[in-house]
């Protein structure tokens, strides 16, 4: 058994956590975690190891067995589980629509309000900083400031949009980072549906193998 596998199995026993639960908490696929814990993967990607080390509160060197674990283990992060929504579902979620069928969830290691949610970008309007596929953690109770990134609802559009929030005196704007798209001047009927508090590439879903 590799040092990495031995450390992972030891940490899982110590925290009394299963492969299934560890996969849910770190958003790494269960088959990948099984291969890591049994030592059948010999060259895992750093993007796969980072969420595991972060969950157990240790360094990468400690995880792969190159540095000793502390005698007093660092407690695992208290991760929050929030729904993964489409841009069309956000207003229903915030209105607590009982007919909304939630089927997908993600975990985040930062504390967010109970109505927080995640969305995944599917367009190029915010490139180069936010590539398609970027996972955004949005907190509707976080009041946006100038140059924050927000999800907003424009009254003449059915779908919410993710843009940079700009304030110029009494006027508010939504700015795409991709210069091929226009800046939107917000009207009185337009509203902010939440402020981005975290952005990440969800490596656990992108990487089917190590």
Query: How far does Cα 189 stand from its chain's mean position?
Result: 29
Confidence of residue 148 (pLDDT cuts 50, 70, 90): very high
Q: Using a CB cutoff of 8 Å and minimum separation of 24, what contacts does 43-48 make? A: 43/210, 44/4, 44/210, 45/203, 45/207, 45/210, 47/201, 47/203, 47/207, 48/203, 48/204, 48/207, 48/210
Are 67 and 87 members of one domain? no
Q: Which of 59, 77, 95 is the last residue of a domain?
A: 77
Size (the chain), residues: 210
Are 60 and 131 members of one domain? no
The answer as to whether 209 is a domain residue is no
Place of tokens 């800046």: 183
Q: Given this model, what pLDDT does residue 44 score? A: 84
Q: Given this model, what pLDDT does residue 1 score? A: 58
Residues 66-91: tens digit of each pLDDT: 888 865 444 555 667 899 999 999 99
Q: Which of 6, 3, 34 is nearest to 208 (CA)?
A: 34
Does the pLDDT at position 94 exceed 70?
Answer: yes
Q: Given this model, what pLDDT does residue 162 score? A: 97
The answer as to whether 210 is a domain residue is no
DSSP element (H, E) containing 81 = strand 80-85
- Average pLDDT of the chain is 86
Tell me the average pLDDT across 94-106: 90
Does the pLDDT at position 93 exceed 90?
Answer: yes
Residues 113-146: tens digit of each pLDDT: 989 999 999 999 999 999 898 999 999 999 999 9
Are 14 and 66 members of one domain? yes
Domain ranges, residue 160? 80-204
Report how far residue 25's alpha carbon sits from residue 80's, in angstroms, rounded to the nearest whole number: 9
Q: Where are the alpha helices (DSSP H) in 72-171?
A: 90-94
Report how far residue 208's alpha carbon sits from residue 210's, in angstroms, rounded to the nearest whole number: 7
Q: Which of 192, 210, 27 is nearest to 104 (CA)?
A: 27
CATH number for the domain spanning 18: value is: 1.10.260.40
Q: Given this model, what pLDDT does residue 99 score? A: 92
- Fill in the DSSP letter of residue 44: -
Count the domains in the chain: 2
- List Cβ neighbours of 130 (8 Å cut-off, separation of 6 or more): 121, 136, 149, 162, 177, 199
Does the pLDDT at position 2 exceed 70?
Answer: yes
Q: Which of 27, 59, 77 is the last residue of a domain?
A: 77
Are 33 and 94 members of one domain? no
Tell me the average pLDDT across 22-43: 86
The answer as to whether 126 is a domain residue is yes
Does the pLDDT at position 209 exceed 60?
Answer: no
Q: Given this model, what pLDDT does residue 119 score? A: 96
Tell me the average pLDDT across 40-61: 83
What is the number of other CB atoms lying within 10 angstroms of the CB of residue 79? 18
Q: Given this model, what pLDDT does residue 168 score? A: 96
Residues 158-201: tens digit of each pLDDT: 899 999 999 999 999 999 999 999 999 999 999 999 999 988 86
Q: What would the two tokens of residue 155 be?
A: 């009254």
């Amino acid at each position: 058994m590799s040092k990495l596998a031995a450390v992972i199995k030891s940490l899982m026993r110590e925290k009394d956590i299963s492969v299934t639960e560890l996969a849910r908490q770190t958003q790494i696929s269960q088959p990948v975690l099984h291969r890591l814990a049994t030592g059948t993967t010999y060259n895992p990607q750093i993007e796969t190891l980072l969420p595991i080390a972060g969950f157990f509160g240790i360094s990468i060197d400690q995880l792969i067995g190159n540095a000793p674990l502390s005698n007093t283990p660092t407690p695992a992060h208290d991760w929050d589980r929030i729904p993964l929504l489409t841009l069309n579902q956000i207003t229903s979620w915030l209105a607590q629509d009982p007919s909304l069928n939630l089927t997908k969830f993600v975990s985040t290691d930062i504390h967010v309000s109970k109505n927080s949610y995640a969305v995944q970008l599917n367009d190029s309007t915010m490139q180069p900083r936010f590539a398609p596929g970027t996972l955004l953690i949005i907190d509707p109770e976080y009041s946006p400031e100038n140059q924050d990134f927000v999800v907003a609802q424009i009254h003449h559009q059915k779908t919410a949009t993710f843009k940079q929030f700009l304030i110029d005196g009494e006027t508010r704007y939504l700015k795409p980072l991709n210069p091929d798209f226009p800046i939107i001047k917000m009207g009185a009927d337009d509203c902010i549906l939440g402020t981005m508090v975290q952005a990440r590439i969800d490596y656990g879903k992108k990487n089917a193998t190590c």
